[in-house]
Each structure stands twice: as C-alpha cells, then as structure tokens.
A and B are shown apart, each in its own frame.
Chain A
C-alpha cells in the first residue's frame, strides 16, 4: 500500500509513485542513480521532489519501510532498534523542519547525541538531500563521535590517519618501509591497516604478526588491522593470531551483504571474538568497517533505492557493532557511480554528515581512480572541507599512490597540510608518542624533526644488503 506523492509547478504536474522514488529524485545528481534509472529526469523535477520531501513528517520513515521488513534484515534492524524515547523530542518535525532544527542553536552537540538513537538512516538521508554542502559541514562538525582502543579517536580538534602501507606482493620489507615512512610523517593513529594482495588466512596472519611486532617494539599507542574477509579474521583469531580490529566491507541491504559473503550474525560473532582477546588498553571498539555509495547497485542489491540512501542504511549496520572506525571509500568505486570531482565531493560530505548524525565514527578515504574525472585538486578540496567538518580520520599513504589497490588517496604530506592549516592534532596518546620519539621537533606547531630520530636510525642499520622480494 505504497503512498504516492504529487506536486504541481506552473502547468507541470509531478507524480512520485513511492517514497523510494521521491527520495531518489530528490537526490543531487550523480552517475550511479542515472545508471540505476532512478535519477530525476530534469533539474526542476529534482527540486520539486525536494520540496515534497521537505513537507513529509519524519514519522513516515517509521511507518513506510523502503525495503520491506520481511525481506531485509537491515530494515528489521533499523525498525527493531529504533529508540522511541530519543525520538520523542523531534517526532513532530517534517523533514524540512528537521533541517532547520539541525542548524538551529537548539541542536547543540549534547542535543544531537541525545536524539541519535531516535534517528533512522532514511531520516538522515532524506534531510541530507535538502542540505547544501555548508549545511552538511556545519552539522557534521557539531556531531561528536568518540571511540577508543589503544588511543582515543574523534575528539574535537583532532584528525587521525590510517597508515595504509599496502604492497602489491605483500613483501614484508616493502611494507615495513612504508610503515616507517608513515610513522616518521606522524601517520597511523587511527590504525595501521593493510589491504592484503593475497587474500587468505595464512597471509593475513603473517601481516598481523608483522604489524604487531612493530607496534610492540616501538610501543606505539595505535592498533593494527588486516583488511581481509571477516570469516578469515575469525579463523585467524582461532589460530591465535594477534587481531586488534576486525575488518569488513558493509552495505545497506541484506542482499548487498550476502554478496559480500556475510550477514549480521557473522559480524556479531566477530565482534565477540575480537573483544574476547582484550587487546585494547583505553577502549573496547574492535570493528573497522568500510562503505561507499554504489556498492548495493554494484551488487544488484539496491531494491530500486538511490545509492545515497543505501549508503546511509549501511551506517545502521555499523552502529550496531560499536566500531572504532568507519570509512567511506568515496571515490574508489569509479565514475559509473560518482562521475567527477564534484560528485565525489558531495558524496564525501553527505556520508560524513549521515554517519556522524547516526553516531558512527566517520572517516573518509578521500580518493579517486584513474578512470574518474578527478585529480589531486579535487582531493585537496574535499580533504579541506572534511577537516573543517570534523571528520574523525583520513587515509595516509606514501605520495598518494596506492601501489596495490591502484588508486590515489591522501598522502602523509596531505594529512600534515590539513593539520597545519586547520590547527588539528593527532589522537592525544599518539601525539605524546610522536613527541617522545622526537618525530616532531614541536608537535604544537606541526614542525617535523629535520633529523632522523635515534630509534629509527638504529633500525635502518638492519636493512638487508640486497633488495629481496619475498611475497
């Protein structure tokens, strides 16, 4: 019994035959929605859809599921976990008034935290479609989501980085070289996280041990993660491997996640297994999720929804398992979903806003591929905007070039640029370590040490004579 929606502008009459269609047509233009055939057919239709959406009560999203409750465990999660008490103070609002409230002086950081569990992903997605980029930044900055494992991530005035030392053959010396480079540029407080080139249990265990050895030797207040399938990490835990964080790519529909080879019960099992290891020192957030607009459509599992609404639903999955980090890999998926720098920028700001509003510790892989219409200047812009918006973390990679995944993301240098121009700092525990290790001459003014710190000068003397390539 799906509701239809109507509006007339001048002599033109518009009809939207479902809430899902209305949401899709109200979405700022992007190639993925065009590919899915759900995009507005004209600029006018898009704004009319936004106007109709603005008049709808927030409660409609509790009464009318975009994907049927019976068909999708993410819908069941969203409805069953909805907190009516937290929702009470905003339940009378329309989507348009919700935007006003979010921007208003009433919506302090504390107020936003209090209503968080009463907001569903569809409400967040709907209101974001009415917001300009500056609205997404302003409200995103007010939302605070702090998590902890061996350090504390997401505090105001902090910007953390994932050190991503990927290597195309998982060569241990090559990986160690990138880790050293990153640490000496102050990177790695969010996580030292490797995407393995060879995705099996044995390889993952080897990389986990490598990172654990480094973290222990230099007493680094950070955590490691191998970005392998959740079932591989579960097996690694059974084998006694040193697992800090469990990784999984997640999507906003049950069918997307099945195409990734897991369901919610798998994630629950993984979270419990990782927590049982008790490896955190200042917190117990043990999950690391990655998302990105377009993944549901790519898996043919989008149920006719627009890609941004699917993405917001993935944050319901994320928040169920109290992650340390959630990373929207915004430009990785390619130009068929986000065509150019403008679309990537908009999506990055939407994802950060929706994630934070829902209480997810949002970071962003500010990135692009070589077949997208984007370049380093687009990434500079998005990085700066996200830094202003209070994004929890970004990636750090040598010279922006991921030589394993074949895309460009933010570099160690880029993160220092953002910290310097915006006055942002690393996680407090990690910041102290950077000073103690003399990696920085002055942490407060972001001045790196011109000399090689003693502990690392010593390590360089152990270099093998000949380059070896032991995959």
Chain B
C-alpha cells in the first residue's frame, strides 16, 4: 500500500495571483511538466499570434476614421514600403525601411505645399496591423489634448499611413516633410497575451540613415497595457525635451517618471508588495 500518493496534477495555491498579472503563473504541474489543459491553452494562443502576423491593415477604414475624428480637410496620405508583400517584408527588413517610388512622389507633392512642421506622425503596420488599427485613433486623441494644453505651438505635418513598413521608414517621411521630429506609431511583434501592442518611436531631426541610438521608444501601448493618456503624457514630455535640447535618443533620458521620486522613503513605498509586506 502506498501512503498518500501525490495527486497526478498538483495545483498551485498561488494561482489566485493571476488576478494581478496576465503572466502564466500558478499553472500547476504533472510531475514537473505542464498539465494537458495548460499545454493546449498555450498552443491556441500561439496559433492566434501566428495568425495576427499575417492580418492585413485596413488602410481605408483607418484613414476614414482619422479624417472624421480630426475633421481633416484631406485624408491621411497612404504610403507603401518597397516590400511588396508580407513574405518579402518578413525576410527583407531593408525594403521595409524605404518608401516605394509612387509613395515618395505622393509625399513630395504633398510636402511641397507645407510649411515647416514641429512633428510628422506616421502610422505603420509593422508586425501587428491589429495594434495600429485599434490604438492609433485613441492615442492620437490623447496626444492632441497634450498639444492643446501647451502654451507653445505644435504645427503638424499631414498624417501618413504606411503598409509593410519598419520604424526607420519614418526617417525618410520626416525628412521629406522637413519636420523637426517624427513620431512612428508601429505594430509591435505580437505576443501570446498581447496581439495588439503599439510601439511609439520619436526621432529628432529625422533623415535617412539614422540609427536606433537616436530614437526614444515607448512600448506596449494598448488598452490592457500602457494606457493612451499616460503614453501621450510621456511622449509629449519627450517631445518637449527633444525640442529644448535639439536631440533625441540615448542622450535624451526619459524623465517622465522622475517626479515620482522624492527621496528614499517614497521610493521604498513604491516597491511595496505582498512578498515583502511584513
């Protein structure tokens, strides 16, 4: 007779911590391995994320929404990189960083009639069109509020939407618009729990050939991640600092959260959690 054999699947009593995070904690175990139900949940999520990579951006719909919401006289400019389709996009990032000839001509024609802009806003499908489709409009609304509340003027270049694009394509667009800075809003690589994550990349004095140390990034902008209002607040602080210092990237530290630190006591409180509660 075996006294008190272990159950086949051992549950984890800390599973209730799932209320505080989307991380796959407290999964339990069969021996040291995943229980069947948790294994299959994972496989489904992976299948959905793989599908999200191939979901195309509905450019017309996004353009119409933006035109309506901001009462634009002209619809946002529709642009396309030199990567013709998703398969080429995935294997040739160099082509995703450059505009195709037709896009370049349209952009030059549009830029000719513009005066100098403080910022060019560029929406790019990246690796998750879903992120751009769903989060662009709410984020821009929040950002425009920041501009309106500021004493300084923030003239914007016409909005642009790019298909099959990478972050650096914004350099070319910003330069053609002669903008002080460019903001690229791009779909980040989809995660299992977050197929809709938007990344924000701000670059001062954009021109083709810049490297990543010249950019500042705010990541994971989505309803269940970094909220639109907070993302807009942080981005606006970065923009103001970039304008003052006339630079961006690693030389421009993100100070957006420094105000929460008012000495050691405050900092300790911020780290308070159940693991170190007593």
Chain A residues with CB under 8 Å of chain B are 31, 34-35, 165, 167-169, 171-181, 184, 197-203, 205-207, 209-210, 213-214, 217, 229, 231-232, 235, 258-261, 298-300, 334-336, 339, 369-371, 375-376, 397-408, 411, 413, 416-417, 420, 446, 448, 450, 452, 456-460, 462-464, 467-468, 470-471
Contact = CB atoms under 8 A, between A and B. Distances in A.
Contacts of B224: 168
A227 to B, nearest CB: 13
Nearest to A230: B250
Given A370-B52, A413-B32, A462-B278, A467 B213 contact: no
Nearest to A470: B270
A200 B275 contact: no
A210 B258 contact: no
A161 B23 CA distance: 18
A290 to B, nearest CB: 15
A202 B258 contact: yes
Contacts of B52: 370
A396 to B, nearest CB: 12
Contacts of B226: 168-169, 197, 471
Contacts of A299: 211-212
22 contacts: A35-B94, A175-B21, A177-B21, A178-B23, A178-B25, A181-B14, A181-B25, A184-B14, A198-B218, A205-B267, A213-B275, A214-B276, A217-B276, A335-B90, A370-B50, A370-B52, A398-B24, A399-B38, A400-B42, A401-B42, A406-B197, A456-B14
Interface in B24-74: 24-27, 29, 31-34, 38, 42-43, 45-46, 49-50, 52-53
Contact of B17 (A172, A177, A197, A399): A177
Contacts of B255: 200, 202
B138 interface: no
Contacts of B212: 259-260, 299
B258 A200 contact: yes
Given A177-B21, A202-B261, A260-B213, 7 more contacts: A168-B197, A217-B276, A261-B250, A370-B46, A397-B23, A399-B27, A448-B10
Contact of B190 (A35, A174, A231, A370): A370
B275 A197 contact: no
B225 A339 contact: no
Contacts, number: 243
A174 B32 contact: no
A452 B13 contact: yes
Contact of B14 (A402, A404, A406, A452): A452
B191 A370 contact: yes
Contacts of A169: 220, 225-226
A405 B220 CA distance: 9
Residue from the set A179, A203, A468 with the largest chain B CB neighbour count within 10 Å: A203
Contact of A171 (B20, B249, B256, B275): B20
A176 B24 contact: no
Contact of A336 (B90, B230, B274, B278): B90
Contacts of A258: 211, 213
A31 B91 contact: yes
A171 B272 CA distance: 11
Interface residues of B, number: 80
B271 interface: yes
A452 B17 CA distance: 14
A369 B127 CA distance: 11
Contacts of B91: 31, 34-35, 335-336, 339
A406 B194 CA distance: 7
B26 to A, nearest CB: 6
B22 interface: yes
A400 B38 CA distance: 11
A436 B31 CA distance: 21
Given A35-B94, A200-B256, A209-B267, A400 B213 contact: no
Contact of B253 (A35, A200, A401, A408): A200
B240 to A, nearest CB: 15
Residue from the set B24, B249, B275 with the largest chain A CB neighbour count within 10 Å: B275
Contact of B29 (A207, A404, A408, A413): A413
Interface in B242-272: 249-251, 253-258, 260-261, 267-268, 270-272
Contact of A202 (B33, B38, B189, B260): B260
A92 B231 CA distance: 60
Contacts of B172: none
Nearest to A301: B211
B19 A448 contact: no
Contacts of B145: none
Contacts of A468: 20
Contacts of A213: 271, 275-276
B276 A206 contact: no
B192 A401 contact: yes
Given A168-B194, A401-B193, A460-B274, A174 B20 contact: yes
B188 interface: yes
A133 B13 CA distance: 42
Contacts of A413: 27, 29, 32-34
Contacts of B106: none
Contacts of A460: 13-14, 16-17, 274
A35 to B, nearest CB: 7
Given A173-B274, A200-B255, A375-B46, A450 B10 contact: yes
A205 B261 contact: yes
Contact of A177 (B20, B257, B272): B20
Contact of B188 (A35, A178, A406): A406
A253 to B, nearest CB: 13
B113 interface: no
Contact of B254 (A184, A198, A205): A198
Contacts of A232: 253
A446 B188 contact: no
A350 to B, nearest CB: 21
A44 B66 CA distance: 54
Contacts of A176: 273-276
Contacts of B33: 413, 417
Interface string B78-113: 000000000000111110000000000000000000
Contacts of A411: 24, 34
A399 B46 contact: no
Contacts of A406: 188-192, 194, 197
A282 B124 CA distance: 49
Closest 9 CB pairs of A and B: A399-B24, A406-B191, A462-B277, A174-B21, A261-B250, A416-B32, A181-B25, A200-B254, A177-B17
